[in-house]
A and B are shown apart, each in its own frame.
Chain A
Amino acid sequence: MKRIIAQAVKELSQFRRDRLTVALAFVLPLLTLLIFGYAIRLEAKNIPIAVQDFSNTPLSRRYTERLFATNQFQAAPLLGGSAQSVLDRGRARAAIVIPPDFADCIQRQEPSAVQVAIDATDVNNARVTKSYIEATTRFFLRISGLQSVPQRLQARIRIWFNPGRQESLYIVPGTCAVVLWIYPSLLAALAMVREKEQGTIVQVYASSLSALELILGKALAFLVVGLSEAVVIITVSVVLFQLRFAGDPTPFLLGTPIYILAAVMFGLMLGTKAANQTAAVQGVALVGFLTTLLLSGFIYPVSNIPFPLSLISNVIPARYYILIIRDAFVRGTGWTGVWFSLTMIVVLGSVLFNVARRSLSRMQVSD
């Protein structure tokens, strides 16, 4: 135990001495949090739409005004081109063509077809644009007294946990999970591989320190670093993005150190396997980013991931930590909802620990 702590203290003082690494350890997580937290918005807003109004009557102008009354759409100039050319140039995501007989048809109580050309390169936005236009049209018909369908059935829709549908409440906790995986593991991997590159690991082998003690010592040091990163990140999230505990915070408070420890183990494991620092960083960046960004449910729900990849997502600790942190800050069910996720992180963390320990002791024998 004493030797583990001594190893951790040595590791921390080495870490402190490298100014660049210390700066990176705190600046990079913050930068990531700010960029992801502010820039990733999935909900389509301000979609540029061009309207070609051949009817040019008070009714058609009212319809056009209605479309741009919310912040979903923004008017884009047609610039004399056709609907297709506006889309080709990417000036608008959709073009609406109101036919010349628009007002006449409606006066005669006959349906008038409005052509809507949608740029479907961005599939998600295309779908949303279509349903916004349809909904706005229905709303237009109702408020202009053109709709004769009685509202016999009404739905009272309540959106729980995040009634204002603030997207930052979805993105920011996920970003914390990504950040707290990538950076602690990156630092741990670098520390491990540096020892190998500079040959100091031979001195460690020659000492009475065992592989287990070496790993635990390093893990302890980077757990401390990771936890201080976590404190910074969470504080900034609370201040800038208004995250507040929604329920019992104990699963989160307990889960975070365990998760960071798992990340550190992952980094140490890659560090023992990588040949040099560049390879270690590449490994962490590639594997870490790909799995935590894409296979964890950070951006889109895990249930959308197709079959062979969905199997991988089951062994990604970030996937479980995202559930815990979203529960702590948004959902608020506490232990009942997340005990399984916490167990999975513990299991996956110990697997990573064992792999790291094994590969390190194998290295020791071969040398």
Chain B
Amino acid sequence: MPKLLDHVLNSCFWALAVKEIRQILRNKQLLFLLVFPPTIQLLIYGFALAPDVEMLRLSVLDYANSQTSRELVSALTENRLFIVNGYTFSETDLTQQVRQGDVTAGLIIPPNFERRLNQEQTAEVQVLIDGVDANTAGIASGYLSQILSQFNRRLSPEATPPLVNPEATFFYNPGLISSWFFVPGVIGLVLTLISSLVSSSAVVREKDTGTLEQLLMTPAEDWEILLAKLVPLFLLLMGDVVLALGVSKLVFDVPFRGNMIIFFLVSALYICVGISIGILLATISKSQQQVVLTSFFINLPLIQTSGAIAPVESMPLFFRYAAVLNPLQHYVAIARGFLLKGVGVAELWQHVLALALFAVILMGISIKKFRSQLN
């Protein structure tokens, strides 16, 4: 046992690690890369992605101009789902506004509206919806039917109340704050981008400048060289996890409901995945420029099919199955679980297991590739 300890302490690893740390501290660009882009990305993703469909602009053409028609308009606007953009007096104006996208919806109340209602007949209103944004259009038409059915109930007070009442409760994010959804996803996105970039450039730089050969001539073993390179980077990237969690707490007030220590352990797994991807990229590329360009091929699909921005369930079948092979998808699910749901490994074990497998397999492949390149 003491012999092993002696071996570890006398290893070239320490000297090399000190050299790497000095190099990193001198490299302003690297430190900048570790701090600035992640913060900016978190801020912009968190603030700019706002999927809330409310305050939809509505243009009204009220031919009836009666009490009920005005009540209908106020029923549409009372929840701020729609806001009246303006009243028009001609159908051409209204259709023009919808056609040009000035308003999301146009409501036409016919002149015989009040009369038909008084005669106990069905009155019909027309709604034109701008369908260029298919998602918003769908939600808007859903809101409209919902509000109209409530309005119908109001028109017939003698009717019985609805017999089935779905009482919805929102879990984990009762205030429906959209940044709470995006921020954990973006933490995963940021770690993916930064860890693959930083590790690949650390390896490629030595290749580019030719110092890799010098390192090889030292008595250090190749695993010591690689480990000394990666451990400081790993620690810095763990610092990025702290940074990202700090931004999410301080700026977006996203809760952290799970176990912090376990979350850091799982994040460490994910960083290993990111670092391995970086090393793989670096071993297959000849120059730094090739690394950054080929990283597009990996990172773009990884991020877009991870559910960080658009939920995985809405994707076509192929992508839903492919998502199982996407380490980021697992990490995002874990991050949402720890931050918002307050669950732990017991509930998320499948994702944690998948992540561990990815970490082991990718680490193995990348180290093997790197060593074969060294020899």
Contacts and interface: CB of A to CB of B under 8 A. Distances in A.
Given A36-B304, A112-B164, A294 B148 contact: no
Contacts of A146: 163-164
A152 B163 contact: no
Given A31-B300, A121-B340, A135-B145, A46 B314 contact: yes
A264 B161 CA distance: 63
A309 B48 contact: yes
Contact of B37 (A111, A286, A336): A286
B167 interface: yes
A330 to B, nearest CB: 5
Interface size class of A (residues with CB under 8 A): 35 or more
B210 interface: no
Interface stretch (B14-22, B123-131, B239-247, B261-269): B123-131
Interface stretch (A126-134, A203-211, A237-245, A344-352): A126-134
Contact of A123 (B136, B163, B173): B173
A44 B314 contact: yes
A17 interface: no
Given A39-B315, A111-B162, A157-B145, A277 B292 contact: yes
B274 to A, nearest CB: 16
A112 B333 CA distance: 35
A47 B315 CA distance: 11
Contacts of A160: 98-99, 128-131
Contact of A278 (B289, B300, B314): B289
Given A88-B347, A158-B126, A277-B288, A138 B143 contact: no
A90 B162 contact: no
B336 interface: yes
B171 A120 contact: yes
A173 to B, nearest CB: 9
B132 A31 contact: no
B164 A111 contact: yes
Interface in B158-189: 159-174, 176-178, 180-181
A185 to B, nearest CB: 13
Contacts of A299: 49, 51, 309-310
Given A39-B304, A48-B313, A31 B297 contact: yes
Contact of B159 (A85, A90, A149, A165): A149
A28 B296 contact: yes
Contact of B142 (A39, A47, A135): A135
Interface residues of B, number: 104
B88 to A, nearest CB: 16
A114 B167 contact: yes
Contact of B137 (A35, A135, A154, A165): A165
Interface in B99-150: 99-101, 117, 120-139, 141-146, 148-149
A24 interface: yes
B305 interface: yes
B132 A157 contact: no
A300 interface: yes
A63 B164 contact: yes
Contact of B99 (A158, A304, A331): A331
Contacts of B336: 121
A294 B47 CA distance: 9
B207 interface: no
Interface stretch (B4-12, B38-46, B214-222, B362-370): B38-46
A90 B72 CA distance: 40
A116 B341 CA distance: 17
A159 interface: yes
Interface string B309-325: 11101111011000000
Nearest to A337: B100
Interface in B175-227: 176-178, 180-181, 197, 201
A44 B311 contact: yes
B2 interface: no
A247 to B, nearest CB: 10
Given A304-B50, A305-B48, A305-B50, A120 B174 contact: yes
Given A114-B167, A159-B137, A290 B132 contact: no
Given A123-B51, A333-B100, 5 more contacts: A43-B138, A123-B178, A147-B162, A153-B152, A295-B44
